[in-house]
Structure 1
């Protein structure tokens, strides 16, 4: 039997109109069938608190015969309700930046600080030690490099006698080396010489005129199966390998081979030479302080002992072993004066991890059952940034403030992870996030106290959740930020209308770089572009604020660099127009990117920020109507039907506005409607 039910308004009351099975039967109206009090209680506790009722709660509602408004309000003062509020806003804001910010490993340290020193064992190792994945020498303390016994076959180890384990500016120098098997084939010396020689020292005792003695510099002691064995290393000349063409053996005055060279340098081969390994470093472009390991050589520094880093939990050892390069605390390269406060620090031998190792992090160390277990630093930061906007939303609801304060308040929260991130300027090279307030006004919380959230006030540039790193990174472009704002708070999406059409491919309108004017695109972008300007003082793909005193609307230095073809301009003009693709772009070189193609009104949006956008949306009533729809969908588990929109949307939105936009008041109204309580 097919039955259909619909809502109708009769005598000011909502009734069900039950259609009979036969078209000949008369329509019969019946009262709305509501769930009994026990089921209503179960719905409410599951929806508001995320748990079923207790036996005592069932008994109480049976005694009263209904769930009262006071009961509902009591539930909305329970801590479980505020967890529910955070989860609602987690979904609304899609608060998860794990796919937006990547720690590619360049700031993460390997080792455990005890048996193996903390140190880069990833991409930066190539620039620091000559090969990817190579840490420092865990057997040699850096300060003892001069007294460490070196193999006599390798002498001289340096071009000039070394009197210090560092260079003139205190930068750690290598204490040992190995030949890189990416370039060399290293064969056990006993095998190579048919047991005539077994150690490098025996090889060193042979004269340079000997067939084996001439290769003393290329003898390498390597650990095989837990034992140290001497190997003879020569360029890997297998087809397709880098050393296949290095057939010339160049000798020094003593007759010892010092390098393997290409026979035709004029042909400009990709690999011209492989020189013997020593403890001397090369230079990039002959710039002092721009160090480069010898190609084909793994040159490792020693370790130092330092106080436990910031991520160490209570009970950790007071001191740890750290590779000498990573243990440095400089803010800039002492030779070149280049900053260590950018992602380049990991590849600069003179920078290190900074005070307290603040520029570096670690992945999980140990087992979760181990009292010294350390959680992944990057994951901790991502989790904290994800949580911050939810804490802002919860605080507004908890204080029963106007709901849209979540979009405008300067109030925010930090836990230990974020407190240390801002106050100690951590996360260099991974996160680009401007401190939201003067550092002294950010609550001081220990890094390991991740569960402790404290309130503070951000500076005037901030506007609720819309300027948190969690929002800015999750929606990395100005257009994405507009799209999320419209979808989450106005219940609108940007979809071209059926009446829109693309122009002919040859139409010059297709070449318009301003999307607000390009044919076929302007349907959406005529709204998106001026709206996105409200985030114009926030960098894209970052959470960096661009204050006018540091990032003026126009920078003549950037313009001059652009005109001269220097689009990098020392790395200082990444936020400015440095290349021209049309007439407007050509006349806008040196202009802050967010000002390109802007009208005077749109420039006002840039300076006013997201707060102005929210204030404008207040006037339309769309914020209230969308919030009603969101709450309805959340608590009824489905969108409003067309009939329900006619019955409920306007009254609920009006009551929401009259209540001062109190979120709890709106929820109370929704869960007391007949639609929430009826039996379908």
Structure 2
């Protein structure tokens, strides 16, 4: 209001006044908001952070779907009462025979179970209580039940389970769940004496038996031994490893206190020592031999995920801010290799964090990235990305927000060319039985071709960036044709060991049959269109710079931003060409364009 009154008293606003206002931080804040809306820079709903790579609690532990592979049950944690390397000192169920773990670790140092609980997906577990009405539960603890002549037969299924409200393990009697059709048919084995298993009289059923729980994780559900480097939890059992204590803090920690971590998560291996499979891919969280890595770098907590998403959202806005603030040619926002990181992003790239949650290749050699601590969330430092990058168009925020080649093309056309894809008003479709309707190539299919004849080859400019991720598919790692993938596809092996997800592995037409083993982005592309793949988004921007569409669209958007409405047809006739030409002549200065718009008669009329 004070600023308004000052200019009202002055009587007029000059170009010098406008330039002075464009040096104020409030102007740059407005431009950041303008670009946030233009780029729709928000990937909060685009990244699948479902929690399977997060640790929480004390001890720090996975507690997601991956716990099925590690411990035999979803959301199951390790045993926080037993130290892994003192696993024989304090067995959880001393009333049972063979209650002590035979070993704390295997020959490669991989943590083995130190305790077990019965899985409530199969068993009904009820607490022992001397005041209980059921006679089989009227015991103070499992030792008392064991000594009873009538109910001592259940001793192997008397389970000391950790009860959070009590802060310790208490006795539960776990018997096959009588409320489930799969378990209420099981009978005790042996029929007399101490029970060691529950057997289904119908041996054709899927669930044939449930044995008493133990420490074995090297036998599969069919009773066969697993191969080295593969572990199988016992059906009906949750088999927990213990915890370790360490003074090495997780990368997100700001304290120096000793940390308790589940023994599996505390490991730091680069690969499974038996199979050679990598621990640096998304599979690490279900491989018992991997762990979270040094300082828990492969894992995250909820606050870490939130901080990373926020940082990725801000990165393109720092790119645009630098261009506007330095009065560089505006379309540098689409081509510059300069970018910015804060602490969470610098650590993310340098320490190769976020495995399994984000699929992103470091945009520059780790040694060239600014050195910043994870906790430094508010300071941003610039650096130069490698030659594959192109302004905001290759930032994780853009690639995740617009996850397919078609979505990326659509956003580019809408945001920077002010064009929308729609068939012509007089477009016609052939009869339904026309072969054109069955064309797999959308650039040729009837009706679809009105838009996709442009979308498909233009999308190839992002062909080296994987869809639904921000991973750059380097030619060295992802060649145009992969012979192994081709041979697998020809032999009908469409998965090929999980190595060929980026390649054409099935044929749905003649072109597909001739493209087996080809990187998907090359499918249906002509020789000229393949140049788009190798040229990347930079080549697209360069081509569009020759049309004048980028300038005209920017004029329209700036007009809309500062006048609060779109250009009328008459205003386009009066101003659009002149403003666009002056914008180009003035080295594409956005500040210069804004100055012209706010000094125009239309702006001053405030109509």
Equivalents in 1 of 2:450, 2:567: separation in Å?
28
2:336 match: 409
CA-to-aligned-CA distance 1:83-115 (integer Å, 9 cap, x gap): 21111111111111111112011011121xxxx
Pick one of 70, 84, 99 that aligns with 1:128.
70
Pick one of 574, 592, 595 that aligns with 1:665.
592
1:78 match: 24
Equivalents in 2 of 1:624, 1:197: separation in Å?
83
Match of 2:30, SS state, is: helix
- The CA deviation at 1:144 is 1.6
Kindly indicate whether the alpha-carbon contact (under 8 Å) linking 1:151 and 1:201 is maintained by their aligned counterparts in 2.
Answer: no
Compared with structure 1, are the counterparts of its residues 214 and 89 closer, same or farther at alpha carbon in structure 2 (3 Å cutoff)? same
CA-to-aligned-CA distance 1:41-100 (integer Å, 9 cap, x gap): xxxxxxxxxxx444xx744x3564322211211111122222211111111111111111
Kindly indicate whether the alpha-carbon contact (under 8 Å) linking 1:250 and 1:261 is maintained by their aligned counterparts in 2.
Answer: no
1:67 match: 13
2:349 match: 422
Compared with structure 1, are the counterparts of its residues 525 and 211 closer, same or farther at alpha carbon in structure 2 (3 Å cutoff)? same
Equivalents in 2 of 1:409, 1:669: separation in Å?
25
Match of 1:425, SS state, is: coil
CA-to-aligned-CA distance 1:6-65 (integer Å, 9 cap, x gap): xxxxxxxxxxxxxxxxxxxxxxxxxxxxxxxxxxxxxxxxxxxxxx444xx744x35643
Equivalents in 2 of 1:250, 1:84: separation in Å?
77
Match of 1:353, SS state, is: coil
Kindly indicate whether the alpha-carbon contact (under 8 Å) linking 1:332 and 1:339 is maintained by their aligned counterparts in 2.
Answer: yes
1:118 match: 60
1:199 match: 141
Equivalents in 1 of 2:98, 2:412: separation in Å?
67
- 1:253-268 equivalent positions in 2, closer than 5 A: 256-265=194-203, 267=204
Where structure 2 has 5 or more consecutive residues not aligned to the other structure, the ranges are none
- 1:161-560 equivalent positions in 2, closer than 5 A: 162=102, 164-189=103-128, 190=130, 191=132, 192-193=134-135, 197-205=139-147, 211-222=150-161, 226=166, 229-238=170-179, 240-250=180-190, 256-265=194-203, 267=204, 269-284=205-220, 286-306=226-246, 307-313=248-254, 316-363=255-302, 376-560=303-487
Judge which range, 524-533 or 72-81, deviates more: 72-81
- The CA deviation at 1:188 is 4.1
Kindly indicate whether the alpha-carbon contact (under 8 Å) linking 1:310 and 1:357 is maintained by their aligned counterparts in 2.
Answer: yes
Kindly indicate whether the alpha-carbon contact (under 8 Å) linking 2:343 and 2:376 is maintained by their aligned counterparts in 1.
Answer: yes
CA-to-aligned-CA distance 1:301-354 (integer Å, 9 cap, x gap): 2111222211113xx243311111111111211222211122221111111111
CA-to-aligned-CA distance 1:515-555 (integer Å, 9 cap, x gap): 11111110101111111111111111110111111111101
Compared with structure 1, are the counterparts of its residues 454 and 197 closer, same or farther at alpha carbon in structure 2 (3 Å cutoff)? closer
Equivalents in 2 of 1:547, 1:79: separation in Å?
40
Kindly indicate whether the alpha-carbon contact (under 8 Å) linking 1:248 and 1:262 is maintained by their aligned counterparts in 2.
Answer: no
Equivalents in 2 of 1:95, 1:196: separation in Å?
61
- The CA deviation at 1:248 is 5.0
- The CA deviation at 1:211 is 4.3
CA-to-aligned-CA distance 1:579-609 (integer Å, 9 cap, x gap): 1111111111100000001100011110111
- The CA deviation at 1:229 is 4.2
Match of 1:216, SS state, is: helix
Compared with structure 1, are the counterparts of its residues 53 and 417 closer, same or farther at alpha carbon in structure 2 (3 Å cutoff)? farther
Equivalents in 1 of 2:341, 2:242: separation in Å?
38
Give the TM-score normalised by the residue count of structure 1. 0.84
Equivalents in 2 of 1:456, 1:195: separation in Å?
67
Aligned residues: 597
Compared with structure 1, are the counterparts of its residues 147 and 58 closer, same or farther at alpha carbon in structure 2 (3 Å cutoff)? same
Equivalents in 2 of 1:276, 1:151: separation in Å?
13
Equivalents in 2 of 1:103, 1:188: separation in Å?
36
Compared with structure 1, are the counterparts of its residues 188 and 412 closer, same or farther at alpha carbon in structure 2 (3 Å cutoff)? closer
Match of 1:412, SS state, is: strand
- The CA deviation at 1:280 is 2.4
Judge which range, 78-87 or 92-101, deviates more: 78-87
- The CA deviation at 1:475 is 0.6
Equivalents in 2 of 1:202, 1:622: separation in Å?
85
Equivalents in 1 of 2:462, 2:213: separation in Å?
53
Kindly indicate whether the alpha-carbon contact (under 8 Å) linking 1:184 and 1:296 is maintained by their aligned counterparts in 2.
Answer: yes
Equivalents in 2 of 1:626, 1:425: separation in Å?
39
Kindly indicate whether the alpha-carbon contact (under 8 Å) linking 1:333 and 1:339 is maintained by their aligned counterparts in 2.
Answer: yes
Kindly indicate whether the alpha-carbon contact (under 8 Å) linking 1:220 and 1:232 is maintained by their aligned counterparts in 2.
Answer: yes
Is 1:611 aligned with 2:538? Answer: yes
Kindly indicate whether the alpha-carbon contact (under 8 Å) linking 2:267 and 2:293 is maintained by their aligned counterparts in 1.
Answer: yes
- 1:146-165 equivalent positions in 2, closer than 5 A: 146-157=88-99, 162=102, 164-165=103-104
Compared with structure 1, are the counterparts of its residues 243 and 120 closer, same or farther at alpha carbon in structure 2 (3 Å cutoff)? same
Compared with structure 1, are the counterparts of its residues 62 and 202 closer, same or farther at alpha carbon in structure 2 (3 Å cutoff)? closer
Where structure 1 has 5 or more consecutive residues not aligned to the other structure, the ranges are 1-51, 364-375
- The CA deviation at 1:242 is 3.1
- 1:621-636 equivalent positions in 2, closer than 5 A: 621-636=548-563
Equivalents in 1 of 2:343, 2:38: separation in Å?
26
- The CA deviation at 1:250 is 4.2
Is 1:600 aligned with 2:527? Answer: yes
Compared with structure 1, are the counterparts of its residues 649 and 263 closer, same or farther at alpha carbon in structure 2 (3 Å cutoff)? same
Equivalents in 2 of 1:173, 1:341: separation in Å?
22
Q: Aligned-residue CA RMSD in angstroms? A: 2.0
CA-to-aligned-CA distance 1:252-295 (integer Å, 9 cap, x gap): xx953221122222x2x232221111122244572222222211
Pick one of 87, 91, 95 that aligns with 2:41.
95
Compared with structure 1, are the counterparts of its residues 187 and 500 closer, same or farther at alpha carbon in structure 2 (3 Å cutoff)? same
Judge which range, 533-542 or 269-278, deviates more: 269-278
